[in-house]
Structure 1
Amino acid sequence: MERSSKAKNILAQIDDKTKLGDLRKIAKDIKKDHGLAMELWSTGEFLPRQLAILIMDNKLLSQDLIDELTKDMQRHPISEHNCLVDWLMANQLSKEKKTVALMQSWQNSPSPLQRRIFWYYQARLRWMGKTDHPNTEELLAAIENRISIEEPDVQWAMNFTAGWIGVFNKEYRARCIDIGEKNGLYKGKMVSKGCTPDYLPEFIAIESSKRNL
């Protein structure tokens, strides 16, 4: 497919030295342009796809289109597809009631990336300060039953959700720590300086202490 002059001009500004801040500046100038976003997405390249996510129109993100996007993301290396799917959740899906409702329906989606979005969104709600949720018990039961058999992408997001539940909901803290001790996920895994370990007993202890909880 012949690319538009607008797409060619944007792609000429992107190379392997382009940073996220640069993409945000380009997106700020473009604002919203769903057609251009789909052109950039069609390149199959990581950075143009990150930019595409920033300029999509979330009102046009149907389940069918999201299915296509997440299927495309699976073709990227794991570090890239996780970045793309988390970027899509944070910059588009969480900003429109219709797409929030879609995310909340993906707990048992056949797509592992959509399941990751479901769990990451649940974690994000909590770490951003909204901690009184009626589904916490249900989520913990699902984590206990499924985390050990889930895809690694999804395991991380489930673990992250359990971590923030353990931080903010004291009545569930021991249970969340127990999940980590039983499955041993991320135990002993080294993290960069200043980062919190993902191993639940350590994560909960550190993040709770930071907040005097």
Structure 2
Amino acid sequence: MAAEDTTPDLAEVTAELAALDDPRARAVNERHGDDHGVNLGRLRALAKRIGTRHELARELWATGDTAARLLALLVCRPKAFGRDELDAMMRGARTPKVRDWLVGNVVRKSPHVEELRVAWTADPDPAVASAGWALTADRVEKRPDGLDLPGLLDTIEAEMKDAPEPLQWAMNTCLARIGIEHAEHRARALGIGERLQVLRDYPTSPGCTSPYAPVWIAEMVRRRQSA
């Protein structure tokens, strides 16, 4: 007799997600623009129990539910998505956490990452463009060969000050990464940050580094030099 298949299906998984919904977690998440109430630790534990299930991931994504989409991004096979599929997923992502996990957990591992990075960075949709700039910041740090760093600084200098918040954050991260990783561009990166004053007054918890680029750059360089 064949063994009974105990792998959960879409209905069972969505029911479990509904059972995990916590009003207190939902209230916290909603303050950050995320419309779900599932504790992320419990979500990751559920994903670990399910394992890699790419077709289930597609079904979860298609529900449009934020918690289901986050779970989908944990149980999918990143390299199995096509370029146009990933582009559509980014454009359909409604919340910051879904966009962040889509970029960090899936697109960065995709064979289409560079093509999407280039296309998204120039996109008129600020949410899509912020994903492109996040991927650019990642490449500045890890694979800078072939990047036009002076050109990136030109764009940041011209556009970051008035960019919408998510795009401004991503461009600021790229600015800081250029200053931290590339000593030959550090003075200019510091100068741009000082002139634009973006995130200068952002509240920072004790022990954390300010996202204000001049402070961020100086602190990370100091740590490396003293290591």
TM bucket, shorter chain = 0.7 to 0.9
Query: Per-residue deviation at 1:38?
Result: 2.7
Give the aligned partner of residue 156 of structure 2.
Answer: 143
Which residue in 2 is equivalent to 1:51? 71
Mapped pair 1:8 → 2:21:
no
TM-score by length of 1: 0.82
- What's the CA shift for 1:191? 1.4
How far did 1:144 drift?
A: 1.4
Q: CA deviation at 1:25?
A: 2.8
State the match for 2:116 in structure 1: 102
1:1-213 equivalences in 2 (<5 Å): 6-14=9-17, 15-17=20-22, 18-74=38-94, 81-127=95-141, 129-132=142-145, 134-212=147-225
Q: What RMSD, in angstroms, separates the aligned Cα atoms of the two structures?
A: 2.3
- Equivalent position amino acid for 2:155 in 1: A
Deviation at 1:154, TM superposition (A): 0.9
Q: Distance in 2 between matches of 1:165 and 1:61?
A: 30
Distance 1:199 1:125, change over 3 A: same
Q: Is the contact between residue 140 and residue 147 of structure 2 (CA under 8 Å) also seen in structure 1?
A: no
Structure 1 residues without counterparts, runs of 5 or longer: 75-80
Point out where structure 2 has 5 or more consecutive residues left out of the alignment: 1-7, 23-37
Return the offset for 1:60.
Answer: 4.2
Larger Rg: 2
| Equivalenced residues, count | 202
Amino acid at match of 1:199: Y
TM-score, structure 2 normalization: 0.78
Helix, strand or coil for the counterpart of 1:106?
A: helix
Whole-angstrom distance in 2 between the partners of 1:28 and 1:100:
29
Asked if the contact 2:79/2:111 (under 8 Å) is kept, the reply is no
Shift of 1:54: 1.6
